[in-house]
């Protein structure tokens, strides 16, 4: 069976290196780890891969309290205890109280699914280590029922990380790796075009210019990213702001309108205002 290749979708522009990494992972049926600045479309990638390859998507969002075991299965001892009190017949079969987790679901799936393990770095430091065997062999053992759950089709596993914690080497070795770097202007133009096909050229040009200018400001706590740019353009369109307004430096409105979509914390806004002020004074 030949796999379809991932080439990006109508709503998602993938760079060559990203396509290569995804295709390698799909072909070899090994997990791929995606890192990158927040808002560069890491999570979106899984959704797009699933839709491009026509496969079902399973999402497992990781929180700081998530344990690896929860991805495999949960044994609902309390429910069983309750049933035993009520004299329910179900109680005799322990399998009735085993609740499959996301990995189990992915392994059981009749068609090869795409499994997204989102923000793996949020979990406890040992979390990735606890999944080594499961990701490697794509099988695990259920102690309660003495059964081995083995993947019918090795799922395409896409793991994202925001780099809040370093991941263990043993885990990294088992994955393909891709770092989504911040798109350059050309790619960004493509991305915006995909989302707002009817955008006026002039507005796009000015918006991108203003956007990269904001990104270039040193010392920002959180640089605006692709998703923020898209939000901002949506706002600009909604407010019907003419492109000329965006041209900074020649008017008192040096701060881009609706900047709230781009700068997300007070210090950044403050810093930006200060810089603009200094700049204006320098020019005067």
Partner 1 sequence: MLIEFFFMLKKGGLKPSITELLTLLEAMEKGVAGQSVDDFYYLSRSCLVKDEAQYDRFDKVFAAHFQGIEDAYKALLADVPEEWLRKQAELFLSAEELAAVEAMGGFDELMNALRERLEEQDERHEGGSKWIGTAGTSPFGAYGYNPEGMRIGQQGSRHRRGVKVWDRREYRNLDDKVELGTRNIKIALRRLRKFAREGAADQLDLEDTIDKTARNAGLLDIRMVPERHNAIKVLLCLDIGGSMDDHVRICEEMFSAARTEFKHLEYFYFHNFVYESLWKDNRRRHAEKVPTSEITHKYGPDYKLVFVGDATMSPYEIVYPGGSVEHWNEEPGAVWIKRLLNAYPKAIWLNPEPKERWDYTPSIKLARELMDDRMFPLTIRGLDDGIKRLN
Query: How many angstroms separate the CA atoms of 198 and 207, rounded?
Result: 14
Provide φ and ψ at 70, rounded to 5°.
Answer: -65, -25
Nearest distance in Å: CB 108, partner 1: 26
Our CB check for partner 1 shows the closer of 166 and 244 to be 166
176 binds partner 1, rule: CB under 8 A:
yes
Nearest distance in Å: CB 65, partner 1: 9
Using CB under 8 A, which of the segments 77-85, 115-123, 186-194, 224-232 binds partner 1?
77-85
20 binds partner 1, rule: CB under 8 A:
yes
Nearest distance in Å: CB 279, partner 1: 24
Contact assessment for residue 35 and residue 42, using Cβ atoms and an 8 Å cutoff: yes
Q: Which of 6, 8, 14, 35 binds partner 1 (CB under 8 A)?
A: 35
Q: Which of 89, 110, 169, 250 binds partner 1 (CB under 8 A)?
A: 169
Among the listed residues 267, 194, 277, the one whose alpha carbon sits nearest the alpha carbon of residue 229 = 194
217-276 binders of partner 1 (CB under 8 A): none
Among the listed residues 178, 176, 228, 229, the one whose alpha carbon sits nearest the alpha carbon of residue 206 = 229
Query: How many angstroms separate the CA atoms of 236 and 258, rounded?
Result: 8
Describe the chain by its helix, strand, coil percentages, rounded to 5.
50, 15, 35
Query: How many angstroms separate the CA atoms of 126 and 84, rounded?
Result: 35
Q: Which of 59, 100, 145, 179 binds partner 1 (CB under 8 A)?
A: 179
Nearest distance in Å: CB 109, partner 1: 23
184 binds partner 1, rule: CB under 8 A:
no
Q: Which of 67, 90, 154, 181 binds partner 1 (CB under 8 A)?
A: 181
Query: How many angstroms separate the CA atoms of 131 and 90, rounded?
Result: 31
85 binds partner 1, rule: CB under 8 A:
yes
Our CB check for partner 1 shows the closer of 54 and 87 to be 87
Size of interface with partner 1, in residues (CB under 8 A): 32
120-139 binders of partner 1 (CB under 8 A): 125
Using CB under 8 A, which of the segments 17-25, 207-215, 227-235, 249-257 binds partner 1?
17-25
Contact assessment for residue 256 and residue 243, using Cβ atoms and an 8 Å cutoff: no
| Contact residues for 270 (Cβ-Cβ < 8 A; gap 6+) | none
Using CB under 8 A, which of the segments 78-86, 202-210, 233-241, 275-283 binds partner 1?
78-86
Place of tokens 């307004």: 245
What pairing do the DSSP bridges indicate for beta strands 98-100 and 57-61? unpaired
Query: How many angstroms separate the CA atoms of 259 and 244, rounded?
Result: 16
Kindly state the tokens that stand for 107.
């392994």
Our CB check for partner 1 shows the closer of 121 and 206 to be 121
DSSP run (H or E) holding 195: helix 185-195
Q: Where does this chain bind partner 1 (CB under 8 A)?
A: 16-17, 20-21, 23-24, 27-28, 30, 32-33, 35, 77-78, 81-82, 85, 125, 165-169, 172-179, 181
């Amino acid at each position: 069976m030949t796999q379809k290749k991932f080439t990006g979708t109508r709503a998602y522009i993938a760079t060559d290196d990203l396509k290569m990494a995804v295709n390698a992972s799909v072909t070899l049926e090994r997990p791929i780890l995606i890192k990158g600045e927040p808002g560069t479309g890491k999570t979106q990638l899984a959704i797009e891969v699933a839709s491009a390859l026509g496969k079902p998507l399973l999402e497992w969002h990781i929180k700081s309290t998530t344990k690896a075991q929860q991805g495999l299965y949960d044994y609902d001892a309390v429910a069983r205890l309750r049933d035993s009190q009520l004299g329910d017949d179900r109680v005799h079969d322990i399998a009735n109280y085993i609740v499959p987790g996301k990995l189990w679901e992915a392994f059981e799936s009749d068609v090869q699914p795409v499994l997204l393990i989102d923000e793996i770095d949020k979990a406890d430091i040992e979390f990735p280590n606890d999944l080594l065997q499961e990701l490697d062999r794509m099988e695990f053992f259920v102690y309660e029922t003495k059964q081995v759950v083995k993947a019918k089709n090795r799922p395409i596993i896409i793991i994202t990380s925001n780099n809040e914690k370093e991941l263990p080497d043993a885990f990294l070795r088992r994955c393909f790796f891709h770092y989504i770097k911040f798109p350059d202007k050309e790619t960004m133009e493509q991305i915006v075009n995909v989302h707002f096909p009817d955008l006026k050229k002039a507005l796009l040009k000015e918006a991108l210019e203003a956007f990269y200018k904001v990104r270039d400001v040193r010392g920002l706590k959180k640089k605006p990213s692709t998703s923020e740019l898209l939000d901002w353009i949506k706002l600009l369109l909604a407010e019907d702001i003419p492109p000329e307004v965006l041209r900074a430096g020649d008017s008192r409105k040096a701060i881009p309108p609706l900047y709230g979509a781009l700068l997300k914390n007070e210090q950044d806004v403050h810093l930006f205002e200060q810089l603009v002020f200094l700049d204006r004074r320098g020019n005067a």
